[in-house]
Structure 1
Amino acid sequence: MAKRQAPVVKNEIYDVTFEDLTHEGAGVAKIEGFPIFVENALPDEQAKIKVIKVNKGFAFGRLVELKQESAHRIDAPCPIYSQCGGCQLQHVSYEGQLEYKRKQVEQVLARIGKLDLNQVKVHPTLGMEDPWSYRNKAQVPVGEREGGLVAGFYQKRSHDIIDMERCLIQQADNDDVVQAVKRICEKYGIRAYNEEKHKGWLRHIMVRYGLITNELMVVFVTRTADFPHKADMIKEITETFPRVKSIVQNINSKRTNVIFGDETNVIWGEEYIYDKIGDVKFAISARSFYQVNPEQTKVLYDKALEYAQLTGEESVIDAYCGIGTISLFLAQKAKKVFGVEIVPEAIEDANRNAELNGFTNAEFAVGEAEVVIPNWYKQGNKADVIVVDPPRKGCDEALLTTILDMKPKRVVYVSCNPGTLARDLHLLEQGGYETVEVQPVDMFPHTVHCEAVALIELK
């Protein structure tokens, strides 16, 4: 059978109408059914494009001339938006972003999950009243240029750092601290890490901020364990920002793109800062996983709690429980909550957070959810409700099999990846469950990422 020839040619110009957006935010146009992906293009726009790369089943292009704009197109307010890889949707109105995310969830539920959207309600995306300055954690790489330090996000598809004063989706306090730390480091002649040569000292500056408490933590990620001018630098940071409660050094001596190394030491102040989501208080360490948008985290967890439909008599399992954020929300209404998480430090934090809030009905175990929960089931422990909040790769098949064996009345699935959510819902549906409704939540405005909560009930 002859191989189908692509209907487009590299470097040629074509007139197209865009139909959709990819999960990375690029516009999708089709020529004779052959998809072409173009950055900065929006559905319903008409344009001239130049094809810059042709692959076997798709091509990439770039905008040459925009002939008809989408009603959702706006001017991105960030001056470095076109270079920076941090945001992908600032050129889309916020209303348009929320609709794009709802459609994205619907499309994968139908295509990957094989769900009938006449039977499953996908609600409009829950967005923010003010979708700016929401991130409570800044972690920025540090480099050198013309003798001075630069700190900012990486340019798209590269490891070149764009120096920035302000990031519009960061809490302003985080930006202020990053800039001050950069200036203090420059003053004392601190050298930035050079990836190619594996030389230099300072790799990343991280700042964490407690939205409710106003507390700040500064983390230096360094290549070596020494700390030049430590006393002077601590004095300047704490005098400039009295709300800094903790200064931490993390040592990462490896040649790697991974931010953190294995050794973390508090060099000044407390090990934790604190924050609250609703009525629940959390201790946050340098390495704790804590959602970066606390305002929308409450929206997300309130929805998970609503879907769990707890009366106070239920036994609940929280798989992938992290530092116990969802577990403790559930513990407010459940008889007993069992959380499981693979990271030992996260379980230490979860136990501390339970104690901090006076919860005696939450118990936590270290291990892989797909190993621990099947063992609990073999020992006769069953749950009325199971809540899962897995990483981007979704739930392990062994965990889904145990859920099907255990047959809880309800499963609440909190997802950061609609694609793996759809895949896992398909498996649960095949095993005797039905997806009742799905609620997208915009945790990361101006980016393509979308969270969703699904309510799944035993047929």
Structure 2
Amino acid sequence: MTKRKDRGYKKSNNKPKSQPKGKSKNFKANPNNRPQQSKKGVTAEFTCRGLSSEGKGLIEWEGKQLEVANLLPGEKAEVQIIKKGRYFNAELKRLIQTSDDRVQPPFKDHESGGCQIQHMKYEAQARFKQKVVDNLMKPFGKAKPIITMDHPFDYRNKNVMTFGLNKKRQIISGLYAPNSHRIIPMDGSIIHDQKADKIIQTVTQLAKSFKLQPYDEDTGQGFLRHVMVKVGKQSGEIMVVLVAASPMFKGKNNFIKALRKDHPEITTILLNINNRNDSMVLGEQEKVLFGKGTIIDTLCGLEFEISAKSFYQINPVQTEKLYSRAIELADLSGEETVVDAYCGIGTIGLVASQKAGNVIGIELNKGAVRDAIRNSKRNGIKNARFYQADAGEFMVQMAKHNDHVDVVFMDPPRSGSDEAFLSSLAKLKPKRIVYVSCNPETQVRDLKYLSKNGYKVEEIQPVDMFPQTSHIEAVTLLTRK
């Protein structure tokens, strides 16, 4: 996903070029294919047998199945295997014979683990994701063909980079390497908005010029922690959030002036204060340095006001396809009472309100509820109400009061729903449940529970919300038996 800053990164709209099938030019034959033992482990030749659910190549070694990043089925490669405690780490060293499904990605560095499958042709990515969903959903029926993206690049509307120092004590920005706090310097990614990438590069250069020292988690010293850029893909509005450990921003006015001079397209700039020692990017306190503090974007014909802390779908192009399919599955006639659980800033509930009788949105986050109410007023929607509450507890109370509900939309986090929520859903007894999931593995677990408690899975629709990554979204319709 990443490209080192010293490699002369240049963004391009062109798709990655296919790599011809055959032997790699830099491959040196290993006589008799004998494993080479060294202090760094064993190096040997392998043929990839398939892919894991995360898109890693599978090889067999001494009766064990090991995963190798950046390897495709049928490819022959030289792999180094190192034992780390009870586990084995397998690393691709050299490709010997390549697959027809391989493309040469513009970013050779896979350290950040973000674009796990950017080395696959997009058609191959779609086949891989379809197979993952098909295998997971076998107990419930056959999934529909995956909904793909016409231009599977530059789609992210939110980018976050972290600041730190390299070994030469120079300021860098990038992403953490997996399972570590080591920052991998980045200039951009094929899935990032290009304007956002350029703004982050400028912020990094200005941080050096203004001597804004990165925050050090070990010492508690320093100022700048992260930069977050949000882009309204339809509106063109751009928000820049500087996340700092302290509100004392020396040279603030000149910094903002310099940033806006290079990027007049920026419509608002905020300073967010995060003095915690955890993995959360944003803190509670924020101050508007320029503009109105929010941006507007359009989704499914509705306008949404987005704040720094608002959850808004990362890929709006595919979100419109996802929501359209979800509402189609809900089969709304204009009379139904609809519950939007985990409603966030109200996106799917407000879109559904145009075809429903009334919508009840439930969200635990107080700020998100405020955003949802503001968005309903902005769009003149009068048949949607939003409540700050635990969705499960709220639905239990609805069931106790014999409230009638026709459809429930649920879009839980990657961990899925807990049994308390699913139990309350079964007690409420809606006619239809439309389950939107960003993790089909936890969705399958929840579908098993609902299947045992009065519901039948009618339709399964995978959607590719995150091209170049191994993540898959799936919408499932359940009807009451």
Q: State the TM-score, normalized to the length of structure 1.
A: 0.91
The equivalent position to 1:135 in structure 2, one of 156, 165, 170, is: 156
- Could you tell me which residue of structure 2 aligns to residue 277 of structure 1? 299
The equivalent position to 2:337 in structure 1, one of 311, 315, 320, is: 315
Q: Distance in 1 between matches of 2:231 and 2:189?
A: 15
Is 2:357 the partner of 1:328? no
Q: Which amino acid aligns with 1:38?
A: V
- Could you tell me which residue of structure 1 aligns to residue 278 of structure 2? 256
- Could you tell me which residue of structure 2 aligns to residue 109 of structure 1? 137
Please list the CA deviations of residues 346-381 of structure 1 after superposition, one character each: whole Å capped at 9, or x if unmatched: 000000000010110111111211111111221222
Is 2:50 the partner of 1:20? yes
Structure 1, 94-103 or 315-324: larger mean CA deviation: 94-103
Deviation of residue 186 (structure 1)? Answer: 2.0
The equivalent position to 2:463 in structure 1, one of 436, 441, 452, is: 441
Q: For structure 2, which runs of at least 5 residues remain unmatched after alignment?
A: 1-36
Q: Which amino acid aligns with 2:111?
A: Q
Structure 1, 317-326 or 31-40: larger mean CA deviation: 31-40
Is 2:82 the partner of 1:61? no
The equivalent position to 1:161 in structure 2, one of 183, 196, 211, is: 183
- Could you tell me which residue of structure 2 aligns to residue 6 of structure 1? none
- Could you tell me which residue of structure 2 aligns to residue 95 of structure 1? 123
Q: Distance in 2 between matches of 1:345 and 1:64?
A: 48
Q: Quick check: 1:84–1:154 contact (8 Å CA) kept in 2?
A: yes
When residues 155 and 172 of structure 1 are mapped into structure 2, their CA distance, relative to the original with a 3 A threshold, is same
Is 2:226 the partner of 1:208? no
- Could you tell me which residue of structure 2 aligns to residue 41 of structure 1? 71
Deviation of residue 16 (structure 1)? Answer: 4.2
Match of 2:246, SS state, is coil
When residues 336 and 61 of structure 1 are mapped into structure 2, their CA distance, relative to the original with a 3 A threshold, is same
Match of 2:155, SS state, is coil
When residues 14 and 164 of structure 1 are mapped into structure 2, their CA distance, relative to the original with a 3 A threshold, is closer
For these two proteins, the number of residue pairs brought into alignment is 442
Structure 1, 374-383 or 149-158: larger mean CA deviation: 149-158
Q: Quick check: 2:229–2:239 contact (8 Å CA) kept in 1?
A: yes
Deviation of residue 413 (structure 1)? Answer: 0.4
Please list the CA deviations of residues 232-252 of structure 1 after superposition, one character each: whole Å capped at 9, or x if unmatched: 122222333233221111111
When residues 47 and 62 of structure 1 are mapped into structure 2, their CA distance, relative to the original with a 3 A threshold, is same
Match of 2:204, SS state, is helix
Q: Quick check: 1:121–1:436 contact (8 Å CA) kept in 2?
A: no
Q: Quick check: 1:246–1:268 contact (8 Å CA) kept in 2?
A: yes
- Could you tell me which residue of structure 2 aligns to residue 349 of structure 1? 371
Is 2:250 the partner of 1:220? no
The equivalent position to 1:76 in structure 2, one of 105, 113, 127, is: 105
Deviation of residue 420 (structure 1)? Answer: 0.6
State the 4+ residue runs in structure 1 displaced beyond 6 angstroms: none
Q: Distance in 2 between matches of 1:72 and 1:356?
A: 47
- Could you tell me which residue of structure 2 aligns to residue 121 of structure 1? 142
Deviation of residue 157 (structure 1)? Answer: 4.0
Q: Distance in 2 between matches of 1:267 and 1:175?
A: 21
- Could you tell me which residue of structure 2 aligns to residue 4 of structure 1? none
Please list the CA deviations of residues 135-155 of structure 1 after superposition, one character each: whole Å capped at 9, or x if unmatched: 111110011233542112223
Q: Quick check: 1:141–1:151 contact (8 Å CA) kept in 2?
A: yes
Is 2:434 the partner of 1:406? no
Match of 1:152, SS state, is strand
Match of 1:142, SS state, is strand
- Could you tell me which residue of structure 2 aligns to residue 338 of structure 1? 360
Structure 1, 187-196 or 14-23: larger mean CA deviation: 14-23
When residues 415 and 207 of structure 1 are mapped into structure 2, their CA distance, relative to the original with a 3 A threshold, is same
The equivalent position to 2:174 in structure 1, one of 142, 146, 152, is: 152
Q: Distance in 2 between matches of 1:345 and 1:457?
A: 33
Q: For structure 1, which runs of at least 5 residues remain unmatched after alignment?
A: 1-8
Deviation of residue 226 (structure 1)? Answer: 1.2
Match of 2:184, SS state, is coil
Deviation of residue 315 (structure 1)? Answer: 0.4
Q: Which amino acid aligns with 1:84?
A: S
Structure 1, 387-396 or 141-150: larger mean CA deviation: 141-150
When residues 32 and 428 of structure 1 are mapped into structure 2, their CA distance, relative to the original with a 3 A threshold, is farther
- Could you tell me which residue of structure 1 aligns to residue 11 of structure 2? none
- Could you tell me which residue of structure 1 aligns to residue 4 of structure 2? none
Deviation of residue 67 (structure 1)? Answer: 4.5
Q: Distance in 2 between matches of 1:204 and 1:223?
A: 10
The equivalent position to 1:230 in structure 2, one of 232, 252, 255, is: 252
Identity across aligned pairs (percent)? 40
